Amino acid sequence: MLLNKLIRLPVFFCVKNVCRHMGHKPDFTMNNYNVERGYYNYPQEQHLLFFKQLLGERVVTDLSDLEKYNVDWFLTYRGSSSVVLRPKSTEEVSQILEYCNKNKLAVCPQGGNTSVVGGSVPVFDEIILSTELMDDIIEIDPTAGTVICQAGCILENLNNRLSEEGLIAPVDLGAKGSCHIGGNVATNAGGKRLLRYGNLHGNVLGLEVVKANGEIIDSLATLKKNNTGFHIKNLFIGSEGTLGLITKVALLCPTLPKSVNVAFLGCQNYERVLQTLKKSKEDLGEILSAFEVMDADSIDLLERETHIKSPIGKYPFYVLIETSGSNEAHDGEKVSQFLDSSLETDLVVNGTVTNEPTKVEAIWSIREKIPDGIRQCGYSYSYDVTLPLTSFFQIVDDTKTHFGKQADVVCGFGHLGDGNLHLIVTAHSYDKQFKESLEAFVIKKTLDLRGSISAEHGMGFQKAKYLNLVNSKGPFNMMKELKRIMDPNRILNPYKVFP
C-alpha cells in the first residue's frame, strides 16, 4: 500500500524550545527609521512613585530586565522604555491608564511580545504595560464550549487547560508558547486553525477592555447569539492596542478532536501544490483542518540554522496537511485514500503521515520552527501578505530576480489554505536603503496582484505609513475619528497603525 510507504518514513524529532539568538541587537527604532517623538511627557520620579505605590515590586526599572521588553522577537525593533508595569487586575490597569492619560504619558501595551510588525515594543520611551501577570483562567463551560480568561494567558497554557475539559482554543500559531490570548485578539491573529474555525471575529464572544481614560468597558458575554446593539467587541479585535487595553476575553472553543492526522508531502512544482489543495478540500472535506506550504529555500534555511530536517528529503515544495475529526477509523481511511490517489496521480511524489501525537507535534515543528531559523540568520525582512492563489509564489520569484545577490535568502511559506504567504528576505545586517527599496517593491507587487499587505500580523510600526494607501478615504477617516473619540490624547501605542 502506498500509505504504508508513507508511514514508514521516519519523522525527525525537533528541538522544542529554540533558545533566543542574542548574537545581535537591533539599533534603536527611532534612529533606524528617523521617527519624531510625540508631545508626551517623559516618565519621571513622581510618576514612578505613583506606579510603585499601586504595583509595588511589579514595576520593572532595572536596565538588564528592561531589555527583553524593549526588543521584539525577530530582533528588528528596539525601544528605550525605562518602565515596565505588570498589573494583575483590570482595576490596576484602569488606574494606570487613567493616570497616564491625565499626565500625558505614552503607553505601549504588550502581551507575549511576539509581534512581527514592531507593534509590541516602544519606539521611544513609552511606558510598557505588560499583561504577563494577568493569566487567570476564570471559567470554562465544557458543554457550551466557552472560556473566560484574563488577557495575559499564554495561548499554549490556555489550550492545555482547555484540552483537560475536552476543548481547544479556536486559534493556534507557532508562537503559542509565548503569545497571549489578549495579544492574539488585539492582532486578530490567524494561524493554522483559521482554515477550519474561522477568524477571531467569529470566535471571540465578548471582551472586557479598559479605555485610554481608565474607563472599564464590560462586554464580556459568552452568548453565541446576541444582537443587542453594536458589537463593541469587534472594534477591539485587530485594533493592536491603539483603542484600549483588553483585560479579559470570552472565547467560543471547538471540541477537542479525537483523531488528528498530519501528512508532510513533497511536490514537484507549485501547480501540483494547488491541485493537492483542491483535492484535499474535495476528498477530506469536513475533517481538513490545516493546509500549509513551504518552498525549498524555507526548508533549506531551517535545516541550515536549526537541528530540524525534512523527513522526506528534498523537493521544490512541501505541503503539510492536517485533519481533525471524531472517528479514527473513518478519518484514517479518508486520509489514506486521499494520499494514495495523490501519489498515483503524481500530485505528490513522497511523504510521511502519522496520527501519533508526538510525531504529529514533530511534523508541525518543521513548519512552525522556520521563524526560529530565520532569526538565526542575522537580519530579516518579513512580509505577511494575502495573495490570489494563482500568483502566490510569483512575488517570491520576482523578489529573487529583482534583488539578486543583495539578498542572502529569499523564501516563502505560509497558510496556503487561507491564501496567506510569509515572504522572508534575510541579510547579514540592517541596510536602510535596501529595506526601503525592498518594502516599496513588495507593497507595490502585492497591490498590483490585488492582494492585502497585512494578512494576519497587523500594521504595527512596520506598515503604519501605508494605512491610508490601503484603505479608501471613508474607512481611513472613520478609523481616525474612532481613535480621536477613544483616545483623544493619543497615549495608546503611538507610532503604530496610524501614519
Closest CA relative to residue 14, chosen from 364, 367, 362, 368: 362
Binding region for ligand FAD (CB under 6 A) out of 20-28, 94-102, 157-165, 452-460: 452-460
320 bridge partner residues: 264, 292
Q: Which is nearer to ligand FAD, 331 or 456 (CB)?
A: 456
Q: Which cell goes with 463?
A: 506598515
> Quick one: which of 106, 147, 217, 245 contacts ligand FAD (CB under 6 A)?
245
What are the distances in angstroms from CA 49 to CA 52, 83, 478? 5, 12, 38
CB of 154 to ligand FAD, least distance (A): 8
* Contact predicate 210/217, CB 8 Å: yes
In the block, residue with C-alpha cell 483542491? 278
CB of 405 to ligand FAD, least distance (A): 28
- Regarding 191 and contact with ligand FAD (CB under 6 A), the answer is yes
Q: Interaction with ligand FAD in 334-373: which residues (CB under 6 A)?
A: 371
- Regarding 199 and contact with ligand FAD (CB under 6 A), the answer is no
- Regarding 173 and contact with ligand FAD (CB under 6 A), the answer is yes
- Regarding 246 and contact with ligand FAD (CB under 6 A), the answer is yes
CB of 382 to ligand FAD, least distance (A): 9
Tell me the residue nearest to ligand FAD as measured from the CB.
Answer: 183
Q: Which is nearer to ligand FAD, 194 or 407 (CB)?
A: 194
- Regarding 113 and contact with ligand FAD (CB under 6 A), the answer is yes
Count of residues binding ligand FAD (CB under 6 A)? Answer: 36
- Regarding 73 and contact with ligand FAD (CB under 6 A), the answer is yes
Closest CA relative to residue 240, chosen from 436, 420, 463, 77: 463
* Contact predicate 220/246, CB 8 Å: no
> Quick one: which of 125, 126, 132, 240 contacts ligand FAD (CB under 6 A)?
240
- Regarding 493 and contact with ligand FAD (CB under 6 A), the answer is yes
Q: Which is nearer to ligand FAD, 200 or 312 (CB)?
A: 200
Q: Which is nearer to ligand FAD, 272 or 483 (CB)?
A: 483
Q: Which is nearer to ligand FAD, 312 or 497 (CB)?
A: 497
- Regarding 412 and contact with ligand FAD (CB under 6 A), the answer is no
Q: Which is nearer to ligand FAD, 290 or 347 (CB)?
A: 290
Q: Which is nearer to ligand FAD, 122 or 311 (CB)?
A: 122
- Regarding 298 and contact with ligand FAD (CB under 6 A), the answer is no
- Regarding 189 and contact with ligand FAD (CB under 6 A), the answer is yes
- Regarding 416 and contact with ligand FAD (CB under 6 A), the answer is no
Q: Which is nearer to ligand FAD, 114 or 324 (CB)?
A: 114
> Quick one: which of 29, 76, 187, 306 contacts ligand FAD (CB under 6 A)?
187
> Quick one: which of 111, 170, 238, 373 contacts ligand FAD (CB under 6 A)?
111
> Quick one: which of 109, 122, 206, 238 contacts ligand FAD (CB under 6 A)?
109
Binding region for ligand FAD (CB under 6 A) out of 109-117, 324-332, 339-347, 473-481: 109-117
Q: Which is nearer to ligand FAD, 130 or 336 (CB)?
A: 130
At 324, which helix (H) or strand (E)? strand 317-325
Q: Which is nearer to ligand FAD, 162 or 175 (CB)?
A: 175
Q: Which cell goes with 32?
A: 533606524
- Regarding 219 and contact with ligand FAD (CB under 6 A), the answer is no
Closest CA relative to residue 353, chosen from 19, 3, 108: 3
- Regarding 118 and contact with ligand FAD (CB under 6 A), the answer is no
- Regarding 112 and contact with ligand FAD (CB under 6 A), the answer is yes
Residue ranges in contact with ligand FAD by CB under 6 A? 73, 109-116, 119-120, 131, 151, 173-175, 179-180, 182-184, 186-187, 189-191, 240-241, 245-246, 371, 456-457, 460, 493, 496
